[in-house]
Amino acid sequence: MTDKPDITSLFEPRTVAVVGASHNPEKIGYKIVENIIACGYAGRICPINPEGGEILKLPVYKNVGDVDGEIDVAVITIPSKYVYDAVKACADKGVKYSLIISSGFSEVGDYESEKKIVSCAQEGGMRIIGPNIFGMYVAKSSFNATFGTRDVRPGGIAIITQSGALGISLMGKTAVMNIGLSGMFSLGNKSDVDESDLLEYLITDDSTRIIMMYVEGVKNGGRLVELLKKATSKKPVIVIKAGRSKRGAMAAASHTGSLAGSDAVFSDIMKQCGVIRAESIQEALDACKYISNSPQPKGENSVIITNGGGMGVMAADACEKYSVNLYDNIEDLKRTFSKVVPAFGSVKNPVDLTGQATLENYKTAIDAALANKDIHTVICLGCETAFFDASKIAEMIKGLYSNSKPAKPLVYSFFGGARIEDCITSLKAVDIPAFSDVYEAVSCMGVLYENYRNTAYATESDQKEEQGIDDPSIDVIVKKALGEGRHFLLSYEAEKVMAAAGIRMPKSFLAKDFDEAVKFAEKIGYPVALKVVSKDIIHKSDAGGVALNLENRQEVLDAYQVILYNCKKAKPDAVIEGVSVSEMMKKEIETIAGAVRDKSFGPVVMYGLGGVYVEILNDVAFRSFPLGRKDILKMINETKSSQLLMGARGEKRKDVGSVVDAVSKLGTILARHEEISEIEINPLMVYEDGQGVMAPDVRILLSKGPEAK
Ligand code: COA
């Protein structure tokens, strides 16, 4: 394998070949050449077609090898069965990047041919984008090698899309919305170049101010996480959510596995990276447009100005949904707005100018908000009334932008008939963020704030911690279980893993008979718990293999016999190794901590509210691992139940530091021991500050090889 070519050759190619350039204007191979020419590409264009001749007045080469000089990019647009030969010819010629438009590879089940073309390219030091793409557009080199629209506006937004059809339509849509693109990249089957490769370039690309991504599946999640973190510390990244199947979750063997099988992992990891999630294309485009045109807020105080109470209340609801903080210094609000709010209006936030508010009132209120240094953003609303002259309002607002843009972020939402719609259209035409739906307006403000907070957080560095874990002991336990053909650890083995990691468990001993059970119970001190130990019985409670709160010798003897009887009855052929006798723990806050190996992102840790209702309550958060203490704390704080740890309702604060340690240790175990696929402590009992955590029940699953989840 040769070194990878410099990615600048992809973004600023000097020579491009189109393999499969067609003489027929109805074919993709013709339209691509046409688009490259029409968008003003200044480099050299070499159409390749066995017939030779001319296409769009360009001389045609019969073979790529016939082109004199270097070729940076080859666009391949011929039927899939000929692609391998074309790739080989390009690699032999020393082409640096091949954009393979052709469909008919892994997306239809032909993984073999796709692998073949990738290894052929790699041998020749060439990289592949696609196959199954619509091409790419780069504004700085006026390079439109797509079969999409030619009407693209150059600007500051780069779009990376896994879906081709969506990408093509986005080119048209962005033009209609007056959104300028720095680039549009279709990744198709991602056989070689993926979003991380493009991000690496786009992070430092000055012409790209915002990155928008449509992602369906992630292959190399660890690298993507690193690059997204880097990217968001420099510019906003907006990702459109694509659903993740719940099927995997149904088959999962643990709570961690089943909770992690949903969209939750992807969503939380995007949050971890400071990426803004959009629910729809429209939301993403609105967000891109708003962020690129708006100044950054200088603080968290937002004010709603309205002429309708109902609309104001709806906006307040939307502010809660999109985490926009409403300014509530009532004295300051009174000082700022009392001159414009009539006695029957309200100076509280939302500031209600009432239904009789005129153009002048709006202007005074907006000016007052802009002049107050403690008000950082403004949400301006209007319902159509006889006093609310929509056309004049549009002019007044445009006036705010006529010299230079206002120094503070504003959004507008107006609701009413045809004149209001005209007002919105005329504002939008000059890139002023006006919407008829209040939620659309506030969602833009929410995105701006998300970006503001991400940037603030990105500047704080979080040191990853080295955890002291006895790895060789864990290796021995895991090897033994795998050697016995097991893909889970028995409870006493899991206990040893916890001991190796220094996670406290209740004292526990394995008793082989009654006498031992009593001896251990007395050593530990009553009350104790008894649990069957058998590799054939995983769900101990279901088999009647658990007895809790045993207060004395007699209760231990009785429970021992009952457990053996129940388990023999439930599973007559089970080999029972004995019964564990363990300390009964003090009950406290029951949380759950876990780590799971995600197919896309590798080790992922989880924290949440624990106990038997964990799936129903679903109050959990995930993070890609490794991560430092601050990030773990942030993950904990994301759960609703985190308040329980901080000392809700007058209770003492719990030992959050020990929870952070436990989560970090679980992640470390998974990161260091490839064969472990899932660890879950449920419940993880959390005691008062300084008293640590306790892991009464640990479940550890081992990987079944490449097929394992
Ligand atoms: N080198 C150079 N040119 C070649 C060639 C080769 N090895 N083999 C064929 N050609 C020429 C053909 O002669 C033809 O030119 P002509 O029209 O002047 O005769 C041109 O390349 C195209 O080949 P053709 O066989 O006509 O294919 P096509 O245009 O019907 O289809 C694809 C080719 C790539 C468009 C088609 O196979 C395909 O995959 N379509 C789906 C594309 C898609 O949707 N991608 C994903 C988007 S999201």
- Which tens digits make up the pLDDT trace of 362-386? 999 999 999 999 999 999 999 998 8
Q: Are 158 and 187 in contact (CB under 8 A)?
A: no
- Report whether residue 324 contacts ligand 1, using a CB cutoff of 6 Å: no
pLDDT of residue 262: 59
- Nearest 5°: the CA angle 645, 649, 653 is 30
Give the model confidence (pLDDT) of 279-291 as tens digits. Answer: 888 889 999 999 9
Which whole number is the average pLDDT over 289-306?
94
Per-residue pLDDT band for 448 (boundaries 50, 70, 90) equals very high
Query: Does the CB atom of residue 303 touch ligand 1 within 6 A?
Result: no
Comparing C-alpha atoms, which of 378, 337, 331, 374 is closest to residue 354? 337
Mutate to test the pocket of ligand 1, among 27, 32, 90 (most ligand atoms within 8 A of CB): 27
Residue 217 — pLDDT band, cuts 50, 70, 90? confident
Asked if pLDDT for residue 253 goes beyond 90, the answer is no
**Pairwise CA distance, residues 214 & 209, whole Å:** 17
Residue 513 predicted with pLDDT over 90: yes
77 ligand 1 Cβ < 6 A: yes
Q: Which of 49, 66, 187 gets mutated to test ligand 1 (max ligand atoms within 8 A of its CB)? A: 49
Q: Quick one: which H or E segment has residue 89? A: helix 83-93
**Secondary structure (DSSP) of 519-573:** HHHHHH-SSEEEEEE-TT-S-TTTTT-EEEEE-SHHHHHHHHHHHHHHHHHH-TT
pLDDT of amino acid 706:
44
Identify the band that residue 610 occupies on the pLDDT scale cut at 50, 70 and 90: confident
| pLDDT band at residue 251 using 50, 70 and 90 as cut-offs | very low
Cβ–ligand 1 distance for 103 under 6 Å, the answer: yes
Is residue 20 lining ligand 1, measured as CB closer than 6 Å?
yes
What's the pLDDT at 343? 83
What element of type H or E holds 481?
helix 471-483
CB-ligand 1 contact for 189 (6 Å cutoff): no
- Domains of the chain (ranges; CATH) run 1-147 (3.40.50.720), 151-293 (3.40.50.261), 299-458 (3.40.50.261), 487-583 (3.30.1490.20), 589-708 (3.30.470.20)
Helix, strand, or coil (residue 377): strand
Cα 480 to middle of ligand 1, angstroms: 56
Q: How far apart are CA 618 and CA 259, in angstroms?
A: 8
What's phi and psi for 426, nearest 5 deg?
A: -70, -30
The finding on whether 167 has its CB within 6 A of some atom of ligand 1 is no
Atom of ligand 1 nearest to the CA of 165: 48
Q: Which of 78, 87, 189 most suits a substitution to test ligand 1, by most atoms within 8 Å of the C-beta?
A: 78
> 3-state class of 213 per DSSP?
strand
Task: Tell me the C-alpha distance between 448 and 322, whole Å.
Answer: 10
Q: How far is the CA of 57 from the centre of ligand 1 (A)?
A: 20
Residue 461: its pLDDT value, please?
Answer: 60
Q: Read out DSSP for 335-365? A: HHHTTTS-TTSB-SSSEE--TT--HHHHHHH
Relative to beta strand 73-76, strand 15-19 is parallel
Helix axes 221-232, 264-272, angle to 10 degrees: 40
Instruction: Name which of 73, 44, 208 is nearest 133 in CA terms.
Output: 73
The number of the ligand 1 atom at minimal distance from the alpha carbon of 167 is 48
Q: Is any ligand 1 atom within 6 A of the Cβ of residue 28? A: yes
Total residues found in the chain within this entry: 709
The closest alpha carbon to 474, from 501, 448, 452, 453, belongs to 501
Surface-to-core class of residue 476, CB atoms within 10 Å of its CB (0-12 exposed, 13-18 middle, 19+ buried) = middle
Distance 137 CA to ligand 1 centre (A): 20
Record the pTM.
Answer: 0.85
Mean pLDDT of the chain, nearest integer: 90
Which of ligand 1's atoms lies nearest the C-alpha of 134? Answer: 47
CA of 49 to the centre of ligand 1 (A): 10
Indicate the SS3 state at residue 252.
coil
What distance in angstroms lies between residue 194's CA and the mean position of ligand 1's atoms?
Answer: 24
Q: Are 339 and 368 in contact (CB under 8 A)?
A: yes
Give the atom of ligand 1 at the shortest distance from the alpha carbon of 79. Answer: 37
105 CA from centroid of ligand 1 (Å): 15
Return the closest-CA partner of residue 635 out of 218, 625, 655, 258. Answer: 625
Please compute the mean of the pLDDT values over residues 317-324 and round it to a whole number. 96
Nearest atom, ligand 1, residue 132 CA: 46
Order the strands of the 237-240 sheet from edge to edge.
143-146, 135-138, 181-186, 154-161, 210-214, 237-240, 276-278
Does ligand 1 have an atom closer than 6 angstroms to the CB of 171? no
**Residue of higher predicted confidence among 243 and 38:** 38
Distance 672 CA to ligand 1 centre (A): 48
- Confirm if 412 and 441 have CB atoms less than 8 A apart: yes
- Residue 539 pLDDT grade (very low, low, confident, very high; cuts 50, 70, 90): confident
Lowest-confidence region among 452-466, 521-535, 675-689: 452-466
β-pairing verdict for 377-383 and 302-306: parallel
**How many A from CA of 77 to the centre of ligand 1?**
5
The sign one gets for the Cα dihedral 323, 226, 183, 295 is positive
Residue 102 CA, closest ligand 1 atom number: 39
pLDDT at 404: 76
pLDDT score, position 536: 87
Over the stretch 558-582, which tens digit does the pLDDT of each residue have? 999 999 999 999 999 999 999 999 9
pLDDT at 454: 81
288, 20, 235, 9: which is closest to 143 by C-alpha?
Answer: 9
**Region at 702 (left for phi over 0; alpha for psi -120 to 50; beta for the rest):** beta
Cβ 676 vs Cβ 704: under 8 Å: no
